[in-house]
Amino acid sequence: MLVDDHRMVLLGLRTLFHNRPEVDVIAVAHDADEAIAACRVKHPRVAVLDVTLDGSDVDGFELCRRLRGELPEVEVVFYTGMDDIGIAERAFASGAQGIVSKGDSAGDLLRAVLLASRGRTYTSPVFAAQADGRDFEELSPKQLTALRLLAAGLERKQIAERMSIGEETVKSHLSEVRRKLGARTSAQAVAIGLINSLFDYDPPAE
């Protein structure tokens, strides 16, 4: 599904995906309400969203959170003209699987959509280049594992059980993760980790 408030952008995206055997555009929407309604009926595997949705009561980040909350099977890829690193962090923190700059090639967007359809992440080179400039220490294997499990949606107690350690130890690991990555919150730590390719989001098996 394609979501953008500009009709010409939607037309361009439909043209991009036309005759691509890997992708079938099953719905388009111009605002958040249309997008949610379409997802409920069409059940797309991936929704491509713009960050700014003029005419909607919410922006793309809030729409992403609502979609992921109600229809978690729908993965989200942001397609935006904004190129600030904070935009990428907010995208991943809202639950997106990828973010692509409108200055990237058509192939980049196609790749992001295909990766998202398999539950894999993609970060535009524009944002990745900015993220590479961060000066942070390397995470220990246990800290990286705790961050990966956090990204997969596990609570602290579940992370402790999965890693066979105490909850206080998990709390300590995540505190160190935030410190080393320069993150204020756990959500921001996950976003920074994804942007820097410290791990690729892949939900662990039950």
What's the pLDDT tens digit per position in 79-119?
A: 998 877 788 888 988 889 899 998 888 889 999 999 999 88
Give the whole-angstrom CA distance, residue 131 versus residue 135: 9
Q: Range of 13's domain?
A: 2-131
120/41 same-domain check? yes
Residue 201 CB neighbours (<10 A) = 17
Q: Please indicate whether residue 119 or residue 72 has the higher confidence score (pLDDT).
A: 72
| 36 lies in some domain | yes
Total domains in the chain come to: 2
Give the whole-angstrom CA distance, residue 206 versus residue 10: 38
17/61 same-domain check? yes
What's the pLDDT tens digit per position in 3-46?
A: 998 889 889 899 988 878 899 999 999 999 999 999 999 999 99
pTM of the model: 0.71
Helix, strand or coil, per DSSP, at residue 100 = strand
42/63 same-domain check? yes
Report the CATH number that the domain containing residue 181 is assigned in CATH.
1.10.10.10
Tokens of 1: 């599904």
21/82 same-domain check? yes
16/95 same-domain check? yes
| 206 lies in some domain | no
| 148 lies in some domain | yes
Give the whole-angstrom CA distance, residue 108 versus residue 123: 9
Contact 68, 36 (CB under 8 A): no
64/149 same-domain check? no
115/66 same-domain check? yes
| 121 lies in some domain | yes
Report the CATH number that the domain containing residue 126 is assigned in CATH.
3.40.50.2300
39/109 same-domain check? yes
| 42 lies in some domain | yes
114/55 same-domain check? yes
Q: Please indicate whether residue 107 or residue 191 has the higher confidence score (pLDDT).
A: 107
pLDDT surpasses 90 at 61 = yes
Last residue of a domain, one of 131, 166, 184: 131
Last residue of a domain, one of 78, 105, 131: 131
Residue 74 CB neighbours (<10 A) = 22
Give the whole-angstrom CA distance, residue 129 versus residue 165: 35
Last residue of a domain, one of 88, 107, 131: 131
